[in-house]
Amino acid sequence: MKGRGIGFGKAILFNEHFVVYGIPSIVSAIGNYTVAHIEPYEKPEINLIDNRKATPQYKEDKYEQQHDSLNRILTKMNIDPKKQGLAITLEGNLYAASGIGASAASCVAIARALNQFYNMNLKDEEINEIAYEGEKGYHGNPSGVDNTASTYGGLIWFQKGDQNEIERIEIPNPIEIVIGNTGKIANTKAAVAGVRERKENNPRKYEEIFDRAENITYLAKQALEDEDHKEIGKLMNENHKLLQQIEVSSKELDFLVNIARENGALGAKLTGGGLGGNMIALTPKRELQERVATSIEKEGFQTIKTVIGATRGGYEG
């Protein structure tokens, strides 16, 4: 008896942080993924083996959050490891780092693997709900956007509410991107709490920023559907400026964003929780993607070369 599940990484193209307050965001699954394998374990407990490649210290720093997350998933699925011990192994080609949906990908992968192991026949919608519960262990009050992209794949319009609005955005062709890793582990809980505090202390300033962020998403959706890469890039740059204004960027992120733009990226911005983690650069066509990735790597930073907008089918478990 075995179980296997897969969860894809993600890149938020527009409106991380703003999404927590009901502002629409646009997110894409990326081609890199986490796989969870589940087998019976001889002791009545969970044996978690994490074989993912990771930013140094990432797994150690996230250890307690990871176990909180796993307990939440098991509780949500009514699984008692004391009755049936489980060995859970995580692997795959998604680097465990801040800002690319590593925690959500692992939550989705584990939920799918458990679903297969116990023959639960859960639908994607239910897998997404379980993964969202798991994300609370990492993020406290997550928006739900990461686990949604990891579960459904493709390019998604996401708006948080009493009933989350999830709409697939269809684009004519996938677009090449480069993700640059600062190597700095970000605390998303702290970043979210900081924005909330500053927003309460300066409501007028933040209202103006949030209004502009909302406007950008609608323009970006249209630009994506029209394959207007220059406009998408321009809006990404503007979105990064807004994220700087709410103080969730960092000197490392700004450094990588500037390198990407100087080497031809049509747009670049932080992606994910900020204060470290990853940035994303829009680099249509392989040649530009290669140039931007090389320029970031020359400065000693790791990159992922992937695409956004690819529809992902055939999820297991």
Do residues 209 and 245 make contact, with C-beta atoms less than 8 angstroms apart? yes
200 torsion bin: left (phi>0), alpha (psi -120 to 50), beta (else):
alpha
The amino acid at 309: G
How far apart (Å, rounded) are the C-alpha atoms in residues 253 and 186? 11
Do residues 68 and 135 make contact, with C-beta atoms less than 8 angstroms apart? no
How far apart (Å, rounded) are the C-alpha atoms in residues 28 and 45? 35
Q: Which of 50, 68, 80, 146 is catalytic?
A: 146
Count of CB atoms situated within 10 Å of the CB of 219 = 16
Do residues 7 and 150 make contact, with C-beta atoms less than 8 angstroms apart? yes
CA 49, 53, 57 angle in degrees (round to 5)?
85
Give the DSSP letter of residue 54: B
Q: Is 146 designated active site?
A: yes
Do residues 10 and 146 make contact, with C-beta atoms less than 8 angstroms apart? yes
Q: Is the dihedral of CA 15, 296, 148, 194 positive or negative?
A: negative
Residues linked to residue 175 through DSSP beta bridges, in sequence order: 308
How far apart (Å, rounded) are the C-alpha atoms in residues 309 and 291? 21
Q: Is the dihedral of CA 281, 286, 287, 291 positive or negative?
A: positive
Count of CB atoms situated within 10 Å of the CB of 39 = 15
Nearest in space to 97 (alpha carbons), one of 34, 19, 40: 34
Q: Catalytic site residues?
A: 146
